[in-house]
Amino acid sequence: MLNKTSFTHFKIISASSVFFALSVLFVLSACAIPGGHLTTGGKEVVGEPPDELLDSIEVHPINVGVLQDLKVAEIQGPVVNPLLNDAIAGYQYRVGKGDVLNITVWDHPELTIPQGQYRSSQEAGNWVDAHGNIFYPYIGEVNVEGKTLEEIRATIAKRLSMYIEKPQVDVNIAAFRAHKVFVTGEINKPGTLPVTNVPMTLVDAINQAGGLNEKADWQRVILHRDGKDEALSLKALLQKGVMTQNRLMAPGDIVHVASIDDRKVYVMGSVVKPGTLPISRNGLNLTEALSNAGGFKETEADATGVFVVRRLPDGSEKRGRVYQLDLSDATAMMLGVEFPMQADDVVYVTTAPISRWARIINQIFPTILTIDIIDSLGQ
């Protein structure tokens, strides 16, 4: 059930991101086709982009300022997590159906079920039935579901006090069977983990499941809880000490570690080997993406026009963003090294002189001064 339905939305998001990126590339080339110097004038154009798409895209130069903004947007550390510390300090296990309790009444051995030589505490204990109850001598059925051990101890002691003077009751759990956490994805031992009286964090759950395998994307761990998904980064947690990325596990939680195979960048245009590139566990920058694609086609490509098309998250004011880099200046290579790629980014290398692209972009984004953008690339 988990592998076919719970995480189908990852593929849907990826497909929509690629479609959006291709739409943006179509927008940028709708007025003219750079490189081939062909025009659509006088022709019937099928599927021209709507005006609202043109208004929903931002264009930014890749310069020091943009790189600083991107760095600020990343999760920085170390960061403490007082909420998690408080949650762990106040953690109490709540008994559920299927758990087995051990109940001892001191100085009254007749009320303690003997374990015997061949009976474990799990076999000799008080099993919580499907109604959340246990049966105990003298007092009959006691509802224990959802209660802490202290609450159960107080309830039993109060009801036994009708038969025993000042009963001293001790309650502990012999077997934790009620609550589980599910760990799936790129984990060495995916499966279920019991929730016990020892608080378990996200890191604990992954370690108990054997840790990450070689295909794990430690920047994309999805915590599914109460019908909602939360994306967490183990890289930020373990590498940068961002403790706010850790969580206290709750019964029924699903931890899914995504695969790096799902994180790809698409390189198109005048490069030697256009296609898809995986983003490794350690990330991928723009210069690496161009290098892994074989570099520019020297007879065709214009290094002044390297574009990165990125879809923005749902709820953003704009639908997408286009980053522009001028690699005709060798010093701009360092800017590409510092520019981190994201999943489903589209890198496009144009064959047209940048002045042609400037006119096209200026028509689409009249509020952006393209000349200033190009000049700032070398800063």
Read off the amino acid at residue 259: S
| Residue 107 forms part of a structural domain | yes
Q: Read off the pLDDT of residues 71-106 as tens digits, 9 standing for 90 and up.
A: 766 677 788 999 999 999 999 999 999 999 999 898
**Domain match, 368 and 314 both:** yes
Task: Using a cut of 0.85, tell me whether the model's pTM lies above it.
Answer: no
Instruction: Supply the CATH number for residue 206's domain.
Output: 3.10.560.10
Q: Determine the Cα–Cα distance for residues 260 and 215; give it in Å rounded to an integer.
A: 6
Q: Read off the pLDDT of residues 114-169 as tens digits, 9 standing for 90 and up.
A: 554 455 666 678 999 999 999 998 999 999 999 999 999 999 999 999 999 899 99
For 219, the domain range is 178-261
Q: Return the beta strands (E) in 38-132 as ranges.
A: 38-39, 57-61, 100-105, 126-127
Tokens 């200026």, residue?
362
Length of the chain: 379
Q: Determine the Cα–Cα distance for residues 169 and 36; give it in Å rounded to an integer.
A: 87
| Residue 136 forms part of a structural domain | yes
For residues 185 and 256, the answer to whether their CB atoms sit within 8 Å is yes
**Domain match, 284 and 356 both:** yes
**Domain match, 166 and 198 both:** no
Tokens of 262: 């799902």
**Domain match, 289 and 348 both:** yes
**Domain match, 365 and 273 both:** yes
**Domain match, 271 and 342 both:** yes
Which residue, among 299, 318, 301, 302, has the nearest Cα to 310 in the 3D structure? 318
* Domains: count for the chain: 3
> Which residues lie below 8 Å from residue 341, measured CB to CB, with a gap of 6+?
265, 279, 283, 284, 285, 286, 288, 289, 308, 347
